[in-house]
Structure 1
Amino acid sequence: MTDTSQIREHMEVIGADGVHVGTVDRIEGDRIKLTKKDSGAQIEGATGAHENHHHFISTGLVAEIEGDKVRLSATAANAVTFEEEGDE
Structure 2
Amino acid sequence: MSDVASQIGEHMEVVGDDGEHVGTVDKVEGNRIKLTKKDDPTGSGEHHYLPLGAVATVQDGKVKLMMPASAARGDANARDPGA
Residue equivalent to 1:54: 47
Normalized per residue, the structure richer in helix is 2
* TM-score between the two structures when normalised by the length of structure 2: 0.85
* TM-score between the two structures when normalised by the length of structure 1: 0.81
- Is residue 16–residue 71 contact of structure 1 (8 Å, CA) maintained in 2? yes
d(CA) in 2 for partners of 1:50, 1:58: 20
Q: CA deviation at 1:37?
A: 1.1
Q: Sequence identity of aligned pairs in percent?
A: 49
- What whole-Å deviation, never above 9, does each CA across 1:19-39 have from its counterpart, x for those lacking one? 000000000100000000123
The 3-state SS of whatever aligns with 2:34 is strand
Residue equivalent to 2:57: 64
Residue equivalent to 2:75: 82
**CA RMSD of the aligned region, Å?**
1.8
- Is residue 4–residue 52 contact of structure 2 (8 Å, CA) maintained in 1? no
**Structure 1 runs (4+) greater than 6 angstroms displaced:** none
Verify: 1:29 aligned to 2:30, yes or no. Answer: yes
- Ranges in structure 1 where 5+ consecutive residues have no aligned partner: 42-48
Verify: 1:20 aligned to 2:21, yes or no. Answer: yes
- Ranges in structure 2 where 5+ consecutive residues have no aligned partner: none
- Is residue 57–residue 82 contact of structure 1 (8 Å, CA) maintained in 2? yes
